[in-house]
Amino acid sequence: MAELHFFTGTMDSGKSTLALQTNHNHAARGREGRIFTAHDRAGVATLSSRLGLTHEAIEVPEGFDFWTYVVRSLTAGGRIDYIICDEAQFYAADQIDQLAKIVDELQIDVFAFGILTDFRTRLFPGSARLVELADRMNVLQVEALCWCGKRATHNARTEDGAMVTEGEVVVVGDVDAHELDTSEVDVAYEVLCRQHHRRRLTAARARAVSLAAEPLPFG
């Protein structure tokens, strides 16, 4: 029986690498698949991992209908045995419903990969719907680490080096500021443990604090 799988973890936990490996394993057994992604750091219609691996993919824009795409492909004589969905946190809830329908009605396996929460520590709509519908939910065992060495559980966004907890949800990291069209603000992402996310203590800020001159023992 086909199943809807959801693989999740923080940034740096190897989700995209596993998505590429999953595709390779199935393709090596003669299965035909489709790869989808949204807002990948490497650009449009590309699935990339931080290890430097990339693969062509189908971009998922707002309003994209998975059910219509798959039915049309099959009607035209195409073959689809499985679907890989990277950056699934960016999909709309109704798109996740469409993926579940593909699994149930067409018996096509769907493997979705994404992070659970945004930089505000709130669930992405796509991830929330996957938690509700997935047949299997897998938390990746490769643990990303906070700068302090503890297990990272939260994704943080920095702007010009300062951590922020408000702003647009979808702003792609790992790219230059001029590519983001954010008025030349330098946007980056970092994984932190809960304690340091609450304190807004990023690696750069921690270094600055440790290098700050200690007050004189009098005054």
pLDDT score of 14? 87
Between 212 and 85, the more confident residue is 85
The CATH number of 4-139 is 3.40.50.300
pTM assigned to the model = 0.80
Q: What b/e readout covers 116-125, taking b as 16+ CB neighbours within 10 angstroms?
A: bbbbeeebbb
pLDDT reported for residue 86? 96
Helical spans, DSSP H, in the chain: 15-28, 66-75, 93-106, 125-133, 194-198, 203-211
Give yes or no for a contact between 117 and 157, defined as CB atoms under 8 angstroms apart.
no
Catalytic residues: 87
| Higher-pLDDT residue of 218, 118 | 118
pLDDT for position 182: 44
- Mean pLDDT over 15-25 rounds to 95
The pLDDT tens digits of the residues spanning 47-79 come to 988 888 889 999 999 999 999 999 999 999 999
* Residue 150 predicted with pLDDT over 90: yes
Cα dihedral 33/126/87/140 (nearest 10)? -90
Whole-number Å distance between alpha carbons of 92 and 49: 23
Domain parsing of the chain, residue ranges: 4-139, 154-210
The pLDDT-based confidence of 131 (bands split at 50, 70, 90) is very high
Cα atoms found within 13 Å of the Cα of residue 30, Cβ hemisphere only: 0
Residue 203 phi, psi (nearest 5)? -60, -45
For the stretch 156-207, pLDDT in tens is: 999 888 899 887 877 765 433 333 444 467 888 999 999 999 999 999 888 8
The whole-number pLDDT of residue 211 equals 63
Q: Beta strands of 77-192 (E only): which ranges?
A: 82-85, 109-114, 136-139, 154-159, 162-164, 187-192
pLDDT more than 90, % of the chain: 66
Q: Is the pLDDT of residue 123 over 80?
A: yes
Strand pairing category for 109-114 and 54-56 = unpaired
Q: Which of 6-15, 27-36, 78-87, 176-185 has the lowest mean pLDDT?
A: 176-185
Give residue 181's pLDDT: 45
pLDDT in tens, 85-111: 999 999 999 999 999 999 999 999 999
Q: Looking at the predicted structure, is the pLDDT value of residue 43 above 90?
A: no
Residue 158 corresponds to which tokens in the numbers above? 């920095």
Helix-helix angle 66-75:93-106, to 10 degrees: 40
